[in-house]
């Protein structure tokens, strides 16, 4: 009898636990961003990229580095499908919209995994925070997502089933380590009634613009060429043209690359005494060595390291945007091996080599570092700040020696999101205060210090206005900010 009573008492306890678990899994915080606006692309195309990413559906300060749920999903740099969507936008020029659920998923990995598992098991369609008013103007809908439980997240179905897709083309793409996109194709076809669903594509860390174009060409979609106008030829020989132009005066210590992208020649290799140094290069056609040119070296983040694949560094826009500030400037985008001392020494060696073998104005040598590349750049500033006119650091943390930098007095601009999802802003704030204190002890005036040192901390609105949900990935926006880039190439 006592056992029966205990069992009876356990029943309500189990129901309470289950109810609490359901509340936890399905009643996360409400999305505050219910904006229905579409981010307009460059070319006024009739194409739209919609994407779902975990980092955009949990609180930003708690976002983790990947979209992974059960079947690991990966996209280097910020770990999200958002980054893949932006790579696709660079190639296509399409408009873009992020799919956001009405209630956020739990930031704990197991919470997201459990909720998504039940959604998949029950074939639910979670409510969304917002929908564009109409997809009438679009002929092609690119749909991006991570692979969750061997399928697309159910929220993708919520979006696609909301519209009449008759006569439209749906083009799926995903990020995943363990599975191809095939595991989700049946579901995408099911929820895209009336549309022609093309073969999908899985983005990886090494995916290049050329890979994307090859895929789109294979499925019959024509896209814009993301190269400069002067590098295009009617018969599409941009690669050969860039290569021939830049190989003309290559020193013997350099093996010129064979691939070109966005006007840059990729995978050049400097054979130095400390090892091979890989980089992409833009050398203006006007350069003939008769007069000094400026030199700009940009150190990309995780995406741009050499093992990620040739040209992976070109997903960042700092190199291509810098050309707009000086038409007499050689631009190098490195593909180094790490974010530590080895790569710092490689960056220094590459700079010294170009100063010695090319006609470079020593008063116009600029350095930039993004994310992990910013860490490398800070190490460079702690070793040889005297080589550079100014250093721009974006979305990163400071690792280098500040006393050496202060002794040289090389100007530094630190740009960071207040809530950078990878680094936070604390490291740069601390470095700024320490460096400012050193300058004050040197007897510098406030005006002199402000000329040498700038800390630019951006609020959430800065990134939201530019279409970035993740503030670390939003560091790309600094490349297009004339205040930030203009400082680097201005008078110092």
pLDDT of residue 55: 62
**Model pLDDT for residues 313-325, shown as the tens digit of each residue:** 887 889 999 999 9
Q: How sure is the predictor about 53, in pLDDT bands with cuts at 50, 70 and 90?
A: confident
DSSP state of 62: G
Q: Which two tokens stand for residue 280?
A: 């992409």
pLDDT higher than 60, residue 244: no
pLDDT of residue 46: 84
Least confident residue range of 101-115, 146-160, 363-377: 101-115
pLDDT of residue 385: 97
Percent of the chain with pLDDT over 90: 47
Q: 21: closest CA among 110, 100, 103, 148?
A: 110
pLDDT of residue 14: 41
pLDDT of residue 15: 44
In whole angstroms, give the CA distance from residue 364 to residue 147: 47
For CATH 3.40.50.360, list the domain ranges present in the chain.
23-218
Percent of the chain with pLDDT over 70: 77
407 Cβ neighbours under 8 A, 6+ residues apart: none
**Model pLDDT for residues 415-425, shown as the tens digit of each residue:** 999 999 889 99
Query: Average of pLDDT values for 5-34?
Result: 49
pLDDT higher than 70, residue 13: no
pLDDT of residue 446: 94
**Model pLDDT for residues 88-144, shown as the tens digit of each residue:** 888 888 898 989 888 777 566 656 677 767 887 888 888 888 888 889 889 999 999
Q: Are the C-beta atoms of 269 and 262 separated by less than 8 Å?
A: no
Measured on CA atoms in the order 305, 308, 311, 315, is the torsion positive or negative?
A: negative
Mean residue pLDDT across the chain: 82
pLDDT higher than 90, residue 391: yes
Q: How sure is the predictor about 173, in pLDDT bands with cuts at 50, 70 and 90?
A: very high
Q: How sure is the predictor about 441, in pLDDT bands with cuts at 50, 70 and 90?
A: very high
Helix (H, G, I), strand (E, B) or coil at 351: helix
Burial string for 210-236 (b: 16+ CB within 10 Å, else e) reads bbbbebbeeeebebeebbeeebeeeee
Query: Average of pLDDT values for 165-194?
Result: 89
In whole angstroms, give the CA distance from residue 355 to residue 386: 13
The upper half-sphere exposure of residue 36, i.e. CA atoms within 13 Å in the direction of its Cβ, equals: 7
486 vs 66, 103, 403, 449, 480, CA distance in Å?
Answer: 33, 40, 26, 19, 10
Does CATH number 3.40.50.1820 belong to domain 237-488?
yes
Q: 282: closest CA among 300, 296, 303, 299?
A: 296
pLDDT of residue 43: 55
In whole angstroms, give the CA distance from residue 139 to residue 253: 50
Q: Are the C-beta atoms of 100 and 31 separated by less than 8 Å?
A: yes
Query: Average of pLDDT values for 166-179?
Result: 86
Query: Average of pLDDT values for 171-198?
Result: 89
pLDDT higher than 50, residue 65: no
Least confident residue range of 273-277, 360-364, 377-381, 429-433: 273-277
Report the alpha-carbon angle 33-34-37, nearest 5: 105
pLDDT of residue 228: 34
Query: Average of pLDDT values for 446-450?
Result: 95
pLDDT of residue 250: 62
Least confident residue range of 1-10, 109-118, 195-204, 443-452: 1-10
The upper half-sphere exposure of residue 447, i.e. CA atoms within 13 Å in the direction of its Cβ, equals: 0
pLDDT of residue 124: 85
Q: Where are the beta strands (DSSP E) in 378-452?
A: 390-394, 412-417
| Residue with more model confidence, 465 or 298 | 298
In whole angstroms, give the CA distance from residue 492 to residue 84: 37
pLDDT higher than 60, residue 60: no
Tell how strand 412-417 and strand 453-458 pair up.
parallel
pLDDT higher than 70, residue 12: no
In whole angstroms, give the CA distance from residue 398 to residue 381: 10
pLDDT of residue 83: 81
pLDDT of residue 40: 67
In whole angstroms, give the CA distance from residue 236 to residue 457: 42
- 23-218: which CATH architecture? 3-Layer(aba) Sandwich (3.40)
CA dihedral defined by 258, 262, 264, 265, rounded to 10 degrees?
0
CA dihedral defined by 248, 249, 254, 256, rounded to 10 degrees?
-20
pLDDT of residue 429: 96
Query: Average of pLDDT values for 139-164?
Result: 92
Q: 464: closest CA among 143, 124, 37, 177?
A: 37
For CATH 3.40.50.1820, list the domain ranges present in the chain.
237-488
Query: Average of pLDDT values for 9-37?
Result: 50
Helix (H, G, I), strand (E, B) or coil at 171: strand
Residue with tokens 């696609």: 160
pTM: 0.58
Burial of residue 451 (number of CB atoms within 10 Å: 0-12, 13-18, 19+): middle
């Amino acid at each position: 009898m006592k056992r029966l009573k205990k069992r009876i008492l356990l029943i309500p306890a189990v129901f309470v636990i289950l109810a609490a678990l359901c509340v936890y899994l399905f009643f996360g915080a409400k999305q505050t961003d219910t904006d229905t606006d579409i981010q307009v692309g460059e070319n006024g195309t009739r194409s739209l990229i919609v994407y779902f990413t975990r980092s955009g559906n949990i609180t930003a300060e708690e976002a983790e580095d990947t979209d992974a749920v059960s079947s690991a999903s990966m996209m280097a740099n910020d770990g999200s499908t958002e980054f893949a969507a932006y790579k696709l936008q660079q190639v296509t020029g399409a408009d873009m919209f992020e799919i956001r659920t009405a209630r956020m998923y739990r930031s704990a990995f197991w919470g997201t995994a459990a909720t998504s598992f039940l959604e998949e098991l029950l074939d639910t369609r979670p409510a969304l925070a917002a929908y564009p008013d109409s997809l009438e103007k679009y002929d092609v809908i690119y749909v991006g997502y991570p692979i969750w439980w061997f399928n697309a997240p159910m929220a993708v179905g919520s979006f696609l089933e909301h519209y009449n897709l008759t006569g439209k083309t749906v083009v799926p793409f995903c990020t995943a380590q363990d599975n191809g996109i095939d595991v989700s194709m049946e579901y995408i076809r099911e929820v895209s009634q009336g549309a022609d669903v093309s073969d999908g594509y899985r983005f990886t860390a090494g995916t290049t613009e050329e890979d994307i174009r090859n895929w789109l060409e294979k499925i019959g979609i024509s896209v814009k060429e993301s190269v400069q106008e002067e590098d295009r030829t009617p018969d599409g020989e941009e690669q050969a043209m860039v290569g021939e132009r830049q190989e003309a005066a290559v020193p013997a210590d350099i093996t010129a690359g064979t691939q070109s992208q966005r006007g840059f020649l990729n995978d050049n290799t400097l054979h130095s005494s400390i090892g091979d140094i890989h980089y992409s290069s833009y050398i203006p056609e006007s350069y003939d060595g008769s007069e000094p040119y400026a030199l700009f070296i940009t150190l990309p983040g995780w995406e741009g390291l050499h093992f990620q694949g040739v040209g992976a560094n070109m997903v960042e826009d700092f190199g291509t945007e810098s050309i707009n500030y000086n038409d007499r400037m050689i631009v190098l985008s490195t593909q180094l091996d790490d974010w530590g001392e080895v790569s710092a020494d490689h960056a220094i060696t590459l700079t010294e080599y170009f100063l010695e073998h090319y006609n470079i104005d020593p008063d116009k040598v600029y350095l930039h570092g993004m994310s992990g590349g910013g860490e490398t750049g800070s190490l460079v500033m702690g070793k040889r700040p005297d080589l550079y006119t100014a250093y721009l650091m974006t979305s990163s943390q400071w690792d280098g020696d500040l006393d050496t930098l202060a002794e040289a007095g090389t100007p530094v601009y630190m740009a960071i999101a207040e809530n950078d999802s990878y680094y936070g802003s604390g490291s740069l704030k601390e470095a700024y205060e320490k460096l400012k204190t050193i300058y004050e002890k040197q007897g510098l005036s406030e005006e002199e210090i402000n000329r040498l040192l700038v800390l630019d901390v951006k609020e959430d609105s800065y990134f939201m206005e530019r279409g970035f949900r993740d503030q670390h990935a939003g560091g790309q926006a600094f490349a297009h900010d004339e205040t930030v880039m203009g400082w680097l190439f201005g008078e110092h």
